[in-house]
């Protein structure tokens, strides 16, 4: 069962969004594998892992977080994504 699932609006071209995701995740030492339709990611944060997948459908991206530290809430992750993408 996923730890968090949320859908966000896409306000930039999908190609740019995927490049931004890849750049930010890999820039922090994480792993990113994805296309303009779906993909997976994982990043270490304070000794824990945040990992999941995404799916792009039209002007929305659905993000599923499968693993996260217990001390980081879903709303915190969603807020970070909304302010950084």
The three-point CA angle 40-3-30 to 5° equals: 35
Q: Is the pLDDT of residue 12 over 60?
A: yes
Domains of the chain, each with CATH number or no CATH: 4-84 (3.30.310.80)
Q: Which residue has the higher pLDDT, 35 or 83?
A: 35
Mean pLDDT over 23-48 rounds to 91
Share of the chain above pLDDT 90, in %: 65
pLDDT value of position 72? 87
Q: What is the chain's Cα-based Rg? A: 12
Q: What is the pTM of this model?
A: 0.86
């Amino acid at each position: 069962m996923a730890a968090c699932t949320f859908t966000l609006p896409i306000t930039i071209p999908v190609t740019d969004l995927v490049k931004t995701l890849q750049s930010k995740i890999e820039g922090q030492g994480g792993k990113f594998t994805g296309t303009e339709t779906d993909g997976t990611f994982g990043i270490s944060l304070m000794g824990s892992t945040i990992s999941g997948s995404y799916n792009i459908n039209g002007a929305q991206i659905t993000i599923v977080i499968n693993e996260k530290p217990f001390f980081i809430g879903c709303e915190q992750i969603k807020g970070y994504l909304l302010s950084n993408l």
